[in-house]
Amino acid sequence: MIEIKNLNRYYQVGKERFYAIRDISLSIKKGEFVLFHGVSGSGKTTLLSIIAGVDRPSSGMISVNNELISKLPDQHLSRFRNREIGIIFQHYNLLESLTVYDNVSAPLIPERLSLKEIDKRVKKSLKIANISHKANSIASTLSGGEKQRCAIARALVTDASIIVCDEPTANLDRANIDIFLDILKKLHKLNKTIIVSTHDPIFQKLDYIDQIIHLEDGVLVS
């Protein structure tokens, strides 16, 4: 499903070149649960961002569902990202003045769907994320765990085949971490490809992880 070959991301500062990731090659199969593990600054978030189409590589190749996204023009990349990738950000990135329902429905606006179809998809996503009871609540009034469940529902609403999570447990207490992990397990059973970038050791104890990819100073360790 995802093929990465000789991927590099660097930043040029004067005559010096600083690498966030260097010469990464890996493959991820459809339906796998993959963990990008490493300390802060190891390159895991950069790699995740490139897979999600949020950032672009400086060199190398990345193909998702047989589409060479490293070469897509910006407009096509945005469409691809909206269709294929569901993103759960560390800080949620919700529209705080809107309701949960409106936040979750936002990714469907470019799809030109009927109101009936939008309502159907939003309610399904809210149910999976266990946040249906807060559908009409303003996002700014939610707790941290509720905001994350809203973000999960938003990531699911386009029926994206790939769910990426950047440090998803960083702002949660233990009770909400358990709720989040239970939702991820359900998504895994739905054959979603899940990629989590984290340094939280709790993920390495899960018995349904298919790959653990360790990064250190931008380099693939194992």
177 DSSP 8-state letter: H
Rama region for 30: left / alpha / beta (φ>0; ψ in -120 to 50; rest): beta
Q: Is residue 12 part of a domain?
A: no
Q: Phi first, then psi: what are they for 31, rounded to 5°? A: 85, 0
Q: Is residue 140 part of a domain?
A: yes
Q: What pLDDT was estimated at residue 204?
A: 84
Q: Does residue 99 lie in a domain region?
A: yes
| Domain that includes residue 122, residue range | 28-58+71-220
Residue at 53 is within a domain: yes
> Please, are residues 163 and 86 in contact by the beta-carbon 8 Å criterion?
yes
39 found inside a domain = yes
Positive or negative, the CA dihedral 214, 29, 161, 204 is negative
Position 2 in a domain: no
Tokens (6 digits) for 40: 């802060």
The CATH number for 212's domain is 3.40.50.300
**Residue 54 near residue 88, CB atoms below 8 Å:** no
Mean pLDDT by 10 residues, the chain (222 residues): 94 90 95 92 92 92 88 84 87 92 93 92 94 96 93 92 91 88 90 92 88 93 78
pTM of this structure? 0.89
Sign of CA dihedral 28, 34, 40, 46: positive
In contact, 69 and 62? CB cutoff 8 Å: yes
What is the pLDDT at residue 89?
Answer: 85
Task: Report the alpha-carbon angle 206-28-219, nearest 5.
Answer: 85
What are the tokens at 48? 């995740």
Per the structure, the count of domains in the chain is: 1
The answer to whether residue 184 is domain-embedded is yes
Q: Please state, in angstroms and rounded to a whole number, the distance separating the CA atoms of residues 29 and 131.
A: 30
Element (H, E) at 59: strand 59-64
